[in-house]
Structure 1
Amino acid sequence: MLSLAAQAGVLDRKPDYTDYDVPLYEQITNRIRAKILARLGEGTNTRDRYFIIPFAYQNKGNAPEFSHSFMSVIRVLADHRQRHLTAGLTKGTYKHREFEAFTISWLPHDFSTNPHLCVFKGFGSRLFPKMNACPLSVGRDFNLAETIQLAVNAKNAVCMWGPYEISQGGFDLGVQRLRLLESGAIMYRADDRLYRKNRSAINCFHAMAGLYDLYPNGGIFGTGFKMWGVNGTARVLMEYRDTANLRGLLLETVDEKKDRFGFVYADPNGRKPYNPFKVASAYRK
């Protein structure tokens, strides 16, 4: 049994304030770059390398209306080789390494100007999907900068895992999912339980889960219920790790609990930040 002092230590975790004045998006991209460059090493990169960076954000109450799961995917191009770039992806160069990247972050199309997410509306809607009066929304895939700004606007805690190296097949499946979301063939709904048969709407958790299957089971009743925020992305990682047809996509060991790194909003007035992570960096903007 933990002593009272040990329990207090867990509850009083303090984030690292070293990068407090660095914008959150910059903190995150700096961490991604540093970790991927360390994996590549100093020598010539003789082949394309592929990575995923899963994310989640949530507020102190872990309310579904203020929670989100999303994932960035990066292809680092081999040095000194002719290559075929993927149409529509962000292209860039960092310290002589060329890359292309995209993010799967599925939300209502107007969420940046109307961040009032309808998740459950009506008596009994949490238990019975037919009683949920939330409307369907036209969806949009937000890029990483836009998504992180949403978290900053809400002063949410942000969780990052990885980067994890994946196979080319994993990258290709991610691009296929991105194309589906961008096609307009599927809409957004936070509670997508009624839309599994006709595949007409999907939430952020299912948009990045499965990859082979749009609606993998998870959460209470096998529906994805309670799978939001950190819980949702952790469930996605379990799906990638444990599902037979996805196991070959991850090229390294994943521990969805131990691998978490947090970014937490710290009030300039000194109020204690909401910090659900063992290791976290503070941000204010």
Structure 2
Amino acid sequence: MLSQTFSRLALAAGFISCVVLPVSCTTAPVDLKPRTVDFSHYDQPLTVQVFERIQDNVYERLGKGRIKEDRYFIIPFAYENRGNEPHFSHSFISVIRVLADGSHSKLTPELRTRRYKDREFEAFTISWLPADFAENPHLCVFEGFGALVVPSCNECSAVVGKSFDLASTLKLAVSAQVAVGMWGPYEITRGGFDLGVKRLRVLEAGKVKYLADDRISRKKGTAINCFHAMSSLDELYPTGGFLGTGFKGWGLNGTKHVLKEYTTKASNKGLLLQPVDIEKDVVGFVYAPEKGSTKVYNPFRNASAYRN
């Protein structure tokens, strides 16, 4: 996708962003801890591994006994390939409402009620991508001379967007053979859940389009990218720095940026009910071509391998 000219521009942009935005470009401390890959669930599909981990973790947080009030959780995600190329990167989030025992609460009209063990719950995912991405997974990110540095030079156009569900998003990850990161579940308030539902409704209404490089379209209020779709739930077109989150601010970095926002704005507003450790809380799932393979892109301290 990127020409040699574009590659030179990318290097120049990296230099410029380090000058303008030194915080986002400071050298990260060297991680000397060994990175391990667990192959014990290798034959389980990625969707099964992720769903089971979410369900078990939420169930553990609920504890034993009756639930007197509805409980709410968020699970942020990201995926990326080796090299963190923007057109192979994505950020998304799932939101869960576990219904109280014997609950007569009003259900959310657009959400399906499901059951896990003895608990009923509602769930949805904000995974904002071009509507035809499953059939045409060729994401336009930066096209045109100087597009990476100068937003007005970008020839990519806004397109009709769609919020994919979690299973469909994970299938996209499997097809791209990328590393998937998952944080949480983090408990939130009813207000946080309602803001998530409101954002989903706005996206599904069709007035907002998708554009990977949304530096201009966010200001115009016409289109947003995947991590802005899940960030600032009380502000549809959030502001940001270079490329919205900083140079290389997509994939895992994009979701980490959103989590930093959650730990300040959401916590200060009382929407997030528990602390977040962005580096320690992440759980990884990495593609391996065969069981026991060492040819694995693993950006996590600990990860579970998948093949399909």
The verdict on a shared fold, with TM-score over 0.5 as the criterion, is yes
Partner of 1:26: 48
Partner of 1:111: 133
Partner of 1:274: 297
- In the alignment, is the contact (CA less than 8 A) between 1:108 and 1:139 conserved in 2? yes
Matched position secondary structure for 1:15: strand
Stretch deviating more after TM superposition (242-251 or 46-55)? 242-251
Q: Deviations over 1:109-163 (max 9, x none)?
A: 0000100000000111011110000121100010000000000000000000000
Matched position secondary structure for 1:175: helix
Equivalent of 1:173 in 195, 198, 217: 195
Amino acid at match of 2:194: D
Stretch deviating more after TM superposition (216-225 or 81-90)? 216-225
Equivalent of 1:75 in 73, 92, 97: 97
Q: Distance in 2 between the 1:262 and 1:186 partners? A: 31
Identity of aligned residues (%): 59
Aligned ranges 1:52-201 → 2 under 5 Å: 52-201=74-223
Query: Compared with structure 1, are the counterparts of its residues 123 and 271 closer, same or farther at alpha carbon in structure 2 (3 Å cutoff)?
Result: same
Partner of 1:17: 39
How far has the Cα of 1:221 moved from its partner? 6.8
Q: Distance in 2 between the 1:260 and 1:223 partners? A: 19
Q: CA RMSD in A?
A: 1.8
Amino acid at match of 1:281: S
- In the alignment, is the contact (CA less than 8 A) between 2:266 and 2:272 conserved in 1? no
Q: Distance in 2 between the 1:20 and 1:281 partners? A: 7
Query: Compared with structure 1, are the counterparts of its residues 17 and 25 closer, same or farther at alpha carbon in structure 2 (3 Å cutoff)?
Result: same
Alignment coverage as a number of residue pairs: 278
Partner of 2:306: 283
How far has the Cα of 1:210 moved from its partner? 0.6
Amino acid at match of 2:299: P
Partner of 2:284: 262
Amino acid at match of 1:145: A
Amino acid at match of 2:206: G
Query: Compared with structure 1, are the counterparts of its residues 244 and 274 closer, same or farther at alpha carbon in structure 2 (3 Å cutoff)?
Result: closer
Q: Distance in 1 between the 2:113 and 2:304 partners? A: 28
Structure 1: which 5+ runs fail to align? Answer: none
Equivalent of 1:211 in 230, 233, 247: 233
Stretch deviating more after TM superposition (121-130 or 220-229)? 220-229
Q: Distance in 1 between the 2:268 and 2:126 partners? A: 18
Matched position secondary structure for 1:83: coil
How far has the Cα of 1:40 moved from its partner? 0.8
- In the alignment, is the contact (CA less than 8 A) between 1:161 and 1:259 conserved in 2? yes
- In the alignment, is the contact (CA less than 8 A) between 2:215 and 2:244 conserved in 1? no
Partner of 1:231: 253
The TM-score, its normalising length taken from structure 2, stands at 0.86
Stretch deviating more after TM superposition (265-274 or 127-136)? 265-274
- In the alignment, is the contact (CA less than 8 A) between 1:219 and 1:226 conserved in 2? no
Query: Compared with structure 1, are the counterparts of its residues 48 and 15 closer, same or farther at alpha carbon in structure 2 (3 Å cutoff)?
Result: same
How far has the Cα of 1:246 moved from its partner? 5.4
Partner of 2:57: 35
Structure 2: which 5+ runs fail to align? Answer: 1-29
- In the alignment, is the contact (CA less than 8 A) between 1:17 and 1:281 conserved in 2? yes
How far has the Cα of 1:219 moved from its partner? 4.5
